[in-house]
Amino acid sequence: MENVEKVKNLIDLRIKAKLGGGEKRIASQHAKGKYTAHERIHLLLDDGSFEELDMFVTHRSTNFGIDKEKYLGDGVVTGHGTIDGRIVFVYAQDFTVFGGSLSETMALKICKVMDMAMKMGAPVIGINDSGGARIQEGVNSLAGYAEIFERNILASGVIPQISAIFGPCAGGAVYSPALTDFIIMTEKNSYMFVTGPKVVKSVTGEDISTEDLGGAAVHASKSGVAHFKAVDEEEGILLIRKLLSYLPQNNLEDAPLLSCNDPVDRLEDSLNAIVPDNPNLPYDVKDVIHAIVDHDEFFEVHRHYARNIVVGFARFNGASTGIIANQPNFLAGVLDVDASKKAARFVRFCDAFNIPILTLVDVPGFLPGSGQEYAGIITNGAKLMYAYGEATVPKVTVTLRKSYGGAHDVMSSKQLRGDFNYAWPTAEIAVMGAAGAIEVLEGKNIAAIAEQTEKAKYIAEKTDEYKEKFANPYQAAAFGYIDDVIEPRNTRFRVIRAFQALQSKKVVNPLKKHDNIPL
């Protein structure tokens, strides 16, 4: 072959590789409303930044005559590029090649970019769209999965790992996304389950659709497996880009600091009146968050799951910050199993990646009852306590209203190494609410009063006495558990000043092989 022909041959091969399983299968992918692997990567990365690797890799199997069917790239597109100018490593499974199923060589390709991402200290993004283990490759496929899982585990807490589920993701294949930091699913075409509806039917007799078993709605709201539910792939990809803007490249760096023209001393008058006089009335803690963060921008994580606690990213004076806030608007902001798990995972992510934490507290306590006890509220509540207690990033806490009992201790209290703990004058920091306390302390005395008006008067008096003494922030402030009681409208300024003072914070936990968080 002449040299000119060699070059032409290369160009032809590259064109062929881009076509994956061929035009017919690409058309079928499009007909389902799905993009191809190459299209997804180009949507995700900065224009023209993608450098593809391993496009000439083909599988090595000979089982079931599969050696007669080979496609360049073998079912996954891998490489690197940039997002907002910062390098990321990517892989996107190509459903047009054997349904994106995982072969030995496909696993090697994925592992190669994961290893490079670790070496370079850059995030890795995986786009999943696969029929699972390539059946013809048997145990080689299972071994390939395990190679990926091990890398997910070792990369955890070192580089951000993000998984998009833009097609099927079933069987053991779900465990790679599950080991990563964030999962994004789309409303259509995206599903995750350990066993599909047919197996479910044959094993348990349950009749259930793919959507109801493992669709985005289920995983974003019921199981909490998915952190984000996007309308379509375009929105999913925008979410990934936005999410990365709040994150550092790796655990040794800080998140990007943006310039900010939202005044740091902006007063937000509405906050002085946001807490209702009646302690039983709710308000939306997201209104507080939006009012104090830069430019009203809050990037919520796990929006549909455990809505009694709100978590997400925002910026203060341009610096990325993780926010955890009890939500009085949903189940009165109580801490239950799901809320504890959701917040604990978020706190640990922020701590692993040097993102300071702001906690907004309005919590009536842990949710009582056999349902929660049987579901392990003890172990799960302990996860959140553990996460806060071990976190060494700057931690600022503002108590807006209720902060009762064990939940008070959990929510980034001073004794769990909260750095600056502020309270609004509306805060009530106590062992429990007034009604419960009076019942315990005065139950016998109340029962002894026969006359109803007298009884009501006595209860009201004792309740007022309790509120006067405990339902305020000043007792906690008198002991130094609260560093200052602040005017609500000035919260943005005080929070920014606190984080500025904490910029040089250095705390190191005792050396250990690893911790033993109550899983």
Q: Which residues have a catalytic role annotated?
A: 171-172, 406-407
CA distance 119 to 465: 62
| Helix (H) or strand (E) run with residue 493 in it | helix 491-501
**Within 10 A of 203 (CB to CB), how many other CB atoms are there?**
9
CA distance 248 to 244: 8
CA distance 97 to 57: 13
User: Where do runs of H (alpha helix) occur along 301-404?
Assistant: 337-352, 370-374, 377-390
Question: In terms of CB distance, is 101 or 426 closer to ligand HXC?
Answer: 101
160 binds ligand HXC, rule: CB under 6 A: no
131 binds ligand HXC, rule: CB under 6 A: yes
> Is 219 within 8 Å of 199 (Cβ atoms)?
no
Stretch that binds ligand HXC, among 12-20, 130-138, 313-321, 419-427 (CB under 6 A): 130-138
197 binds ligand HXC, rule: CB under 6 A: no
> Is 320 within 8 Å of 246 (Cβ atoms)?
yes
Q: Pick from 168, 215, 365, 488: which binds ligand HXC (CB under 6 A)?
A: 168
CA distance 473 to 140: 62
385 binds ligand HXC, rule: CB under 6 A: no
CB of 25 to ligand HXC, least distance (A): 6
Q: Pick from 20, 123, 126, 132: which binds ligand HXC (CB under 6 A)?
A: 132
188 binds ligand HXC, rule: CB under 6 A: no
353 binds ligand HXC, rule: CB under 6 A: no
Pick the closest to residue 430 from 469, 462, 404, 467 (CA basis): 404
Cα angle, residue 388 at apex, residues 434 and 489 outer, rounded to 5°: 60
CA distance 164 to 135: 23
CB of 212 to ligand HXC, least distance (A): 16
CB of 225 to ligand HXC, least distance (A): 16
3-state secondary structure of 474: helix
Stretch that binds ligand HXC, among 82-90, 93-101, 182-190, 511-519 (CB under 6 A): 93-101
119: amino acid identity, one letter: K
CB of 198 to ligand HXC, least distance (A): 9
101 binds ligand HXC, rule: CB under 6 A: yes
Stretch that binds ligand HXC, among 97-105, 302-310, 315-323, 328-336 (CB under 6 A): 97-105
Q: Pick from 38, 42, 80, 134: which binds ligand HXC (CB under 6 A)?
A: 134
| Helix (H) or strand (E) run with residue 76 in it | strand 76-83
At 450, list the tokens: 């026969």
Stretch that binds ligand HXC, among 128-136, 158-166, 216-224, 453-461 (CB under 6 A): 128-136
CB of 286 to ligand HXC, least distance (A): 38
| Helix (H) or strand (E) run with residue 447 in it | helix 434-448
> Is 441 within 8 Å of 465 (Cβ atoms)?
no
CB of 428 to ligand HXC, least distance (A): 50
Stretch that binds ligand HXC, among 134-142, 181-189, 239-247, 302-310 (CB under 6 A): 134-142
Question: In terms of CB distance, is 168 or 214 closer to ligand HXC?
Answer: 168
Question: In terms of CB distance, is 172 or 282 closer to ligand HXC?
Answer: 172
Phi-psi region of 172 (alpha: psi -120 to 50; beta: other; left: phi over 0): alpha
In the chain, % helix, strand, coil (3-state, to 5) comes to 45, 20, 35
CA distance 354 to 309: 22
Cα 333 versus chain centre, distance: 19
Cα 113 versus chain centre, distance: 23
CB of 170 to ligand HXC, least distance (A): 6
42 binds ligand HXC, rule: CB under 6 A: no
Question: In terms of CB distance, is 98 or 366 closer to ligand HXC?
Answer: 98
Number of residues that bind ligand HXC (CB under 6 A): 16
CB of 103 to ligand HXC, least distance (A): 9
> Is 134 within 8 Å of 74 (Cβ atoms)?
no
375 binds ligand HXC, rule: CB under 6 A: no
Q: Pick from 20, 99, 177, 488: which binds ligand HXC (CB under 6 A)?
A: 99
Question: In terms of CB distance, is 40 or 286 closer to ligand HXC?
Answer: 40
Per-residue DSSP letter, 220: I
- The dihedral over CA atoms of 379, 385, 386, 389, expressed in degrees to the nearest 10, equals -170
Q: Pick from 35, 71, 91, 98: which binds ligand HXC (CB under 6 A)?
A: 98
171 binds ligand HXC, rule: CB under 6 A: yes
34 binds ligand HXC, rule: CB under 6 A: no
Q: How far, CA to CA in Å, does 12 sit from each of 72, 96, 226?
A: 12, 19, 40
Phi-psi region of 319 (alpha: psi -120 to 50; beta: other; left: phi over 0): beta
Residues 468-507 that bind ligand HXC (CB under 6 A): none
111 binds ligand HXC, rule: CB under 6 A: no
Question: In terms of CB distance, is 135 or 158 closer to ligand HXC?
Answer: 135
20 binds ligand HXC, rule: CB under 6 A: no
CB of 78 to ligand HXC, least distance (A): 19
145 binds ligand HXC, rule: CB under 6 A: yes
- The dihedral over CA atoms of 123, 124, 128, 134, expressed in degrees to the nearest 10, equals -160
173 binds ligand HXC, rule: CB under 6 A: yes
CB of 97 to ligand HXC, least distance (A): 8
Residues that bind ligand HXC (CB under 6 A): 25, 98-99, 101, 131-135, 142, 145, 168, 170-173
